[in-house]
Structure 1
Amino acid sequence: MTRPPVHLTRRHLLAGIGVAAAAPATVIRAQPQHPQTLAFDATSAPLRLGPDRDETAIWSLRTDCSAIPRFRQGETLDLALHNGLPAPVVLNWYGIDGASSIEPLTARRPTSPGETDRFSLPLRQAGTFLCDTRLLGDGLAQSSPAQAMVVEERAPAEVDRDEVMLIEDWRLDPKGLPIAPGTGGQAVGAPLYLVSGKPSLDLTLRSNERLRLRIINACQRNAVALRIQNLDVRVMAIDSQPAEPFLARNGRLVLAPGSRIDAVIDATLPAGTASAVTLHDGGSPRPIAQLHVSADGPLRPAPLPTPAPLPSESLPARLDLKAALRVDVPLAASGGTPTSWGMPTHFNMGSKPAFRVKRGRTVVLTLTNPAATPMVFHLHGHHFRLLDRLDDGWKPFWLDTVLVDAGQTQRIAFAADVVGAWLIETMAVEWSAPRQVRWFAVD
């Protein structure tokens, strides 16, 4: 039976994402690669979806790295995507700004079975990034996982550990086989969650050790809330861009599908104890991770000082809202009115853009959701500010993905500063709902 969608409001989102040290932290650095290359292989691979389940074949997106790919800000990547699957695929990126040459559908055509696509990606930004091949995946024989990529700051943050927590959801058909979303109402079971490819994630820290935890909601449809118990969780970045650091209320974080949060956590619990990480999706809470504090001696006598904000280089300090282009963008049809959104598999650059804007101008989008289900909105190639209700200010962080609750309206603003043709995406927080796209032009 399909689990009802979780209703997460803007208030929940903002609430959720809303000592001296005697020894310095270890600087975490990526290992240099010569040359900087990254190969993706879309192929079939075995996966165990739980400790009591046999391995099953899934459509996978693998890299030629043994772990999460890590690079440095300022490098350039030579990328290759080989398609070993029986359906066309295209890489869909989350967090990469201004790289019009990698934009799916508008710049990069789908890669046919047996083909290899090659292109370059300049890593102008640091952050936690996500890519997948799901843009064309609704209703196919299989769904596929996502891949994280880390680009480290030029001046690395002072942390002792740097870990990725990638959360994915899977659904099974009546035969117990994984099924793709957007299946038009086909019966599926309750979601199964994997954390970095495993049923749970267990990390062991020494007392007063500092952890940078890069949390990624790679779920295909589910919005999730995480609760990290008994520890201060300081949000440092959201959606691959630095935020004004703040403590998550009660250690609670809410992430729409595709959202990423970088948090700093100091291991201040007594030695030999643990902090449980629970996932909430509208059903019963699920334990998905444990942060253990080792019984070994402390790493340092006291916790490190409050971390400084991460450097922000690529986004403007101010947005000119008075001279902004203002566009209404309904996320769903209302009262039988035809929608301008379309299926990615039917995308055509000859279709009318949602809007055109001159380079350098601010754009304000009014996102309305007349549907009875929360909707996710994702902006390609740009980050936006979430505006206050009266357009008299914005929240102290940048986003590329936002959840708009049922019957609600959100206003966002961004600087259209790179010429190109860019996608916008929307989908309901519901397994059977289709992913839909439009495009806009920056001239």
Structure 2
Amino acid sequence: MNTFKRILCIVLCFYMLNSPAYGFTEKIEPLDESEIKTNIEEEYGLKIIYSKDDENIDYMDCMLVLERSLRRFPEGVIKEITDYYSKMGIETNVVINKTEKIADLFSEYVLGDKSATVYINALQNSMYNDECVASEESTVHELSHLISDYMYETYGHDRMENDFLKFNGGFQYGNWEEKSDVFLNKHSAMSFEDEVADLIWYTEVHPELLRTLDCEEKEIVHKKIEYLAEVFDQCFDSVSENTKLWMDAFPQEPDMWAIDTITQLKNASIIPEEFEGMYDAYITKENFYTLVMNVVESKLGKEELSNNFNLYMQEEYVSLDPVKGEIFMNDGMAVLDRSMLCSNKEVIYKAYQMGFLGHEGAGLEPDSYITRLEAAKMFAYIANSQGMDISDYEVINYTDIDDVQDSEKPFIYFAATKGILKGYGYNFNPNGYCTYQETYIMLMRLYNLL
């Protein structure tokens, strides 16, 4: 048995040290503009229209912005809307127009008898004149209008407006100065339709701002979001209780079993301030990487972490484009595909260097949630890198891992045996998502194990 375990350990170490933690072993070629356009149209039921008069114009960044904007919303929501409109003979379009003025860098949504159209104005990039870029925030905002119009259609416009007027306590739209605390901002106070779209937009793009509202009377805003989440659940089959819709927009309290661990991690500066109030919401991959690296760095020290994983950060420097003959700033992040860049480039680049990500950021999707299986693989990868015997585990007969690849089951056994990630009786729930407070508990166990 010992000989078998040693052989298995060698095999696992070879597998893990020569491939990223998520098992991407081959280079994945980035998609081109037309392929991304086709994928978006097929997945979301949209028709994307842009001018092809100038063959030198590159709309790649616009496609990436549109794709990221659509991913902001729960999976299946946009497709439900486009399918609904299609049955009514209404085509859902995204029209991209080029503009030369930054003041015109905005989007607009128009619902007509035959079409529902999001207009996106794209600005010609000053660095590369053949590239056009669009505003992700503006795009998400207009998609919020697309969603809210569908909610009015299926749930009832007057019904929703009357409920909002009750929340407003008699204060009417169009008068920001009269009762500003009832509304999220001045724009939201303009009309009921503007407020609904703004609330959907903020919950998807700026949940941290909603979570940390400092005025007690702003609780009304949270009540409106809770109401919209309930309406969402009734309007969309793809939204369920397990979606934990907009949970990160509400200030949350940790469960009793997690309080001591969270306090210790906060005192050790492992939990960033921006994660304050995030406990029962599902954790995104980007934030999971942030916490994992904070824990490992806290345990090993910054210098040892860099040495163990051969980390280095690229510094910005001036480069000359050999094809275009133009000067531009290079930050060394070109190794990652543009579509995979997110808010914290340093974290993602470190994750790439440590092997958490595949080639060119494959499999990142920073806003997607981390599964329990992915977490188990990550913990085994880190333990192996620190010289632990990852073949030292007990085989546990979980009843729900039959569909897990045989090569991945040892990661589950290792994480469960070491107590890092425990199951639920006879179930492990490999595809279930991890909440923030569950992640905090796992990371404290990992810290003590290293």
TM range (shorter): under 0.3
Mark the structure with the bigger radius of gyration.
Answer: 2
Structure that is richer in strand per residue: 1
Structure that is richer in helix per residue: 2
Normalising by structure 2, we get a TM-score of: 0.24
Normalising by structure 1, we get a TM-score of: 0.24
Identify which of structures 1 and 2 has the higher relative contact order when contacts are C-alpha pairs closer than 8 Å and 6+ apart: 1
